[in-house]
Amino acid sequence: MESAAAALAQLGSLAASSHVSRMADAFAAAGEELALVGGSVRDAFLGAPLNDLDFTTTADPDRILAIVSPLAEAHWDVGRAFGTIGAVIEGHTVEITTYRTDAYDGATRKPMVEFGDTLEGDLVRRDFTVNAMALRIPELVLVDPSGGIEDILARRLDTPGAPETSFGDDPLRMMRAARFTSQLGFEVTDRVVDAMQGLADRLSIVSGERVRDEFSKLLCTPAPRAGLQLMVDSGIAQIVLPELPALRLQVDEHHHHKDVYEHSLTVLEQAIQLERERHPGEPPDLTLRIAALLHDIGKPATKRMEPGGVVTFHHHDVVGAKLAAKRMRELRFDKDRTAGVARLIELHLRFFGYTEGAWTDSAVRRYVRDAGPLLERLHILTRADVTTRNRRKSDRLSFAYDDLEDRIAALGEEEELASIRPDLDGEQIMAILGLSPGREVGEAYRFLLELRLSDGPLGEEEAERRLRAWWAAR
């Protein structure tokens, strides 16, 4: 971590920048307080880049808008109900929020927004001490009423006041504790864990959209395992993602050294590593990460004891796909992401038949067709799903998948595999067979598609000959 002096110097430099100093002078001239607050102050003491800038002020939303409008190239008030006004000043996006003292009323799914009148009062109602620091500007006075700097030094996550009060005010903060555990690499205090365990049920009053957003942020951290483990150990996963803790007692027949829960966390870690290696510099792939975490959630429902004590999980891929889709709908994920995750889970076992015998070109084409635009994600998920400690087995599976990817690439170069279509389209089928649009055209199209998959490109003349023969034989 950077020294406190270096952090204060970085914050001072930020405050002296043109767009911040102009804003600070404008609020001071209007008789209003202004302070840089939250994550940017925390990140300065962590030596991290300062990106998103949040400010807090005594001014109410109407007053904020009146002060920043003359300075801004653009401004918006979509957060006005929560006391927040956004603006772009000299090309920099800022958000300014009125001092607040929010809380849930204990029954509804939305927090009540109440404005406060002091900076200290605003800070002590925030989620964690490391986020409850501010820098008054233009005075450059650091305000840290809850010991946030000490907690940063100790790499500790704690609440400004009693965690029971903090989590009672906003139960979603329990999920934020899990996210910050992964994002910052901090450990939560014992009292925070105790409060999470005691108040986990309170998350049921939080909207699915807010839970979804926080869960997504956690999965997109560099190393989400610690946060997910905290969710499970504290009991909050039982409320928001019960399929995850349900994996803990399931013995995986393919990975005897790990239970399915540990296996799933390892698959997620390996998928993230492969994602970085294969696509460096790209943002986290949330669809892939959800699929990696949930790929085996069908196992508890399909567990069977066979003669000889063998445990099986037949069709857990299909069952898991349905369970994942159901959970994602409840968490208000969009249809495309939900469908993508479900399809990846449904297909994640398909490759393992490849090692049992050489696939024909037709089988490779079907693999590509069934994966569609998810093919690259399926490559990563399938490779990540190998967690065996048996080096020989691991190498064999890896070499086999190398071979499959090589064959896909070779076939793709030959016949544009990623966009497989029959040799004749619907208009041509109708013209050749004298049909009008309807069920029979669809049947003919599927017949030609199967030919395309099994035999490769035929050309229009040969495709027409076979189509006419098929039609006559009907």
- DSSP label at residue 283: P
Summarised one tens digit per residue, pLDDT across range 141-170 is 999 999 999 999 999 999 999 999 999 889
d(CA 29, CA 6): 29
**pLDDT band per the 50, 70, 90 thresholds, residue 105:** low
Give the per-residue pLDDT at 255: 46
Characterize the bridge pairing of strands 311-312 and 92-98.
Answer: unpaired
**418, pLDDT greater than 70:** no
Average pLDDT over residues 25-44: 92
d(CA 180, CA 55): 21
**427, pLDDT greater than 60:** yes
What dihedral do alpha carbons 48, 52, 55, 61 form, nearest 10°? -170
Percent of the chain with pLDDT over 70: 92
Give the per-residue pLDDT at 59: 94
Domains in the chain, please, with CATH? 1-154 (3.30.460.10), 155-241 (1.10.3090.10), 252-419 (1.10.3210), 426-473 (no CATH)
Average pLDDT over residues 315-319: 91
Summarised one tens digit per residue, pLDDT across range 58-79 is 999 999 999 999 999 999 987 8
**299, pLDDT greater than 80:** yes
**187, pLDDT greater than 60:** yes
**pLDDT band per the 50, 70, 90 thresholds, residue 2:** very low
Summarised one tens digit per residue, pLDDT across range 360-405 is 888 888 888 889 899 999 999 999 998 877 788 777 778 888 888 8
What dihedral do alpha carbons 233, 258, 268, 273 form, nearest 10°? 130
d(CA 217, CA 184): 13
Q: Do 224 and 181 contact (CB within 8 A), yes or no?
A: no
Cα angle 212-215-216, degrees, rounded to a multiple of 5: 85
Give the per-residue pLDDT at 416: 58
**pLDDT band per the 50, 70, 90 thresholds, residue 249:** low
Bridge partners for 95 per DSSP: 54, 86
**Sign of the torsion formed by the C-alpha atoms of 376, 382, 387 and 392:** negative
d(CA 123, CA 129): 8
